[in-house]
Structure 1
Amino acid sequence: MQKWSKIQMRNNLLPIAKEGWSYVGYSLGFFALFSILGWGILQFFSFAVVVFFLFVFRNPERELPNFDAKSVLCPVDGEVISIDTLTDNEYAYKVSIDTTYKDVGILRAPMNASLICVNKKHGTRLSLDNPIALQTNENVSIVFQDSNANKIKVLHTVKQSLCGVIVDVEQDKSIAQSARYGIMVNGITHIYLPLNFRLSLILGEEITASKSLVGYFS
């Protein structure tokens, strides 16, 4: 529990994610400059950009629901776009969630867990319509394991985005369910689940990070 508390204290609790401060700051600077110069059209455009960045990098508080200790919560906001059965020896199901610019981009821990693998791959930010995007786009893979050795893998892959996938966690550390661990603006998240898992999501469902239930370990 002590390790979880330390990680949560490192999280940014301000209404704007720290990853967005530079975007907001620069756009505010341009807005101030164009206001001084009296360039109305550019002043209006720069103000619209400020509002856009404030929206994209918003960092709302989320109250943790009272679910069972074996629960797994959604790590991202978005829409469930596919639920697949796998023949993999380690994972039996894959849930894919599409996070767009209209969704909150903050990443939240799906369970109380140790981080047994954190692997970041730098790459492109191509549209997923591009046939090489899945192989070349930037992504982060994280394996979470609870105290009962139940394990899931979460893969965040960025699409066309302002920034890459940013995570603030380290391998071999512990994290509390619902704790913030990074941000992804406009991307796809794949959740890989074991055979001993009871899935609660349905295709097309709009989900909310740390509030929507993925399911339970049996």
Structure 2
Amino acid sequence: MFHREGQKIILSTFFLAIALVLIAQFYVSIPWLRLSLQVMALVVLILILQFFRNPKRKVERNFDEILAPVDGKVVAIEEIEETEYFNDKRKQVSIFMSPTNVHVTRYAASGEIKYSKYHPGKYLVAWHPKSSTENERTTVVIRTPKFGDILYRQIAGAMARRIVNYAEVGDSVQQGDDAGFIKFGSRVDLFLPLDCAITVTLNQKVTGAKTCIAVVVQKDEEREIT
């Protein structure tokens, strides 16, 4: 199954690939060049199909957990001052997506959309420290039953040129549902309350709507930690 954001690109690439295969077959007389062009056309089509794949995932929704919003690798876990919405300290978890990852963004938690804003910007490489505040990005805040307000930020990378965000203020959203798409290499940052417990580690590979990123810390657990 493929994401709706890729429909036009997939169709265009399909017809171009077929055209190139046929042109090479009937108009290119050099065997190795003909075969090279045909293989190249098919490889490009396969890469486009792979990029826009949208695998169905059965989500076990849990108000006590924050799930990964995307597939990728955890590249940052730190306490940071969030200045766009909260203006206070938050736990930040950043997930980097390579071009080979599924690029669907999914809601990390169920709740109500309280804030959704698009920011034009630069196209620094997604792992650059300033990409979170200087790159093209969208910021979305979900009010959840157990974690309060959580924020996630879709960030364009050096290759990304379009971020798609479906979240609108007032929407009621469900954990694991489709929240948007980022085309060609990117990153998503999560900003979570300080009193939650992060359950992933640096460089860990995570799966969107499957891997637990953080959990609510119960009062008795809090006492044990302190």
TM above 0.5: yes
Deviations 1:32-54 (A, max 9, x none): 21222225233322211110000
Deviation of residue 129 (structure 1)? Answer: 7.4
Question: Following superposition of structure 1 onto structure 2, how do residues 163-202 of structure 1 map, counting pairs within 5 Å?
Answer: 163-184=161-182, 185-202=184-201
The answer as to 2:56 corresponding to 1:56 is no
Counterpart of 1:160 in structure 2 is: 158
The runs of 5 or more residues in structure 2 that have no matched partner are 29-33, 218-226
Q: What are the Cα deviations for residues 106-149 of structure 1, in whole angstroms up to 9, with x where unaligned? A: 11111111110111112343434778755542111111111357
Corresponding residue for 2:123?
125
Structure 1 residue 92: Cα displacement: 2.6
Query: CA, structure 1 residues 188+175, in 2 after alignment: closer, same or farther (shift >3 Å)?
Result: same
Partner Cα separation in structure 2 for residue 131 and residue 111 of structure 1? 26
Q: Which of 1 and 2 has greater Rg?
A: 2
- Whether 1:71 aligns to 2:71 is no
The number of residues matched between the two structures is: 203
Listed one character per residue, the Cα deviations across residues 194-218 of structure 1 (whole Å, up to 9, x for unaligned) are 1221111111111000100011233
Query: How far off its partner does 1:169 sit?
Result: 2.2
Deviations 1:66-107 (A, max 9, x none): 6x4221111011111111123566343111111111211011
Tell me what 2:109 maps to. 111
Aligned to 1:210: 209
- Cα pair distance change 1:162/1:22, threshold 3 Å: farther
TM-score by length of 2: 0.81
**Counterparts of 2:196 and 2:143 in 1: how far apart (Å)?**
13
- The correspondence of residues 6-155 of structure 1 with structure 2, limited to 5 A, is 15-37=1-23, 38=25, 39=28, 40=34, 41-65=36-60, 68-86=62-80, 90-128=88-126, 135-147=133-145, 150-155=148-153
Q: Superposition RMSD on alpha carbons, in Å? A: 2.2
Which AA in structure 1 matches 2:186? Answer: G
Which stretch has the larger CA shift, 143-152 or 87-96? 87-96
Q: Give the 3-state SS of the residue equivalent to 2:88 in structure 1.
A: coil
CA distance in 2, matches of 1:132, 1:75: 21
Percent identity, aligned pairs only, is 20
User: What is the TM-score with the length of structure 1 in the denominator?
Assistant: 0.84
In structure 2, what is the equivalent of residue 9 of structure 1? none
Task: Say which is worse superposed, 207-216 or 68-77, in terms of deviation.
Answer: 68-77
CA distance in structure 2 between the aligned counterparts of 1:28 and 1:87, rounded to whole angstroms:
46
Q: Where do 5+ consecutive residues of structure 1 fail to align?
A: 1-14
Match of 2:31 in 1: none
Q: 1:132, 1:94 → 2: CA distance?
A: 14
1:130-172 residue CA offsets vs partner (Å, 9 max, x unmatched): 7875554211111111135711110111112254111122112
